Amino acid sequence: MREPTFWILTALTDQARHGYGIIREAEDLSGGSVRLQAGTLYAALDRLAAEGLVEIDREETVDGRPRRYYRLTDDGATALAEETARLTRNADTAAARLRTRPGFALAVPHARPATA
């Protein structure tokens, strides 16, 4: 899963959001490392909807313009959980390896020990 997709799905975990809301939430959650452009977002949302990971929750008109809200599906939540587990395993493995390198023990102070 690409990083923008990860943050789009993460932005939708707690509530349905419209496009600009997804852009803002993804940027906030990622600490500013992901800054989605509208074209990129809507192409991703179309792809994610086709894959069954998100769906349209509702549409409304605001100031004469249509606003579409998207929500995470159960399949989307499962895909996000699987990706989160994969990333955690990868980070845990790297942190464990770094702890064996002299002088790097302090470089990963919040790392958790790797689990079997």
Residues 6+ apart with CB under 8 A from 110: none
Residue spans of the chain under pLDDT 50: 106-108, 114, 116
Whole-number Å distance between alpha carbons of 19 and 103: 45
pLDDT for res 108: 46
Entry pTM: 0.84
DSSP letters, 18-67, are EHHHHHHHHHHHTTTS----HHHHHHHHHHHHHTTSEEEEEEEEETTEEE
Please give the pLDDT value at position 58.
95
What's residue 110's pLDDT? 53
- Give pLDDT, residue 98: 87
Report the pLDDT value the prediction gives residue 33, as an integer from 0 to 100. 94
The Cα–Cα gap between 1 and 76 comes to: 12
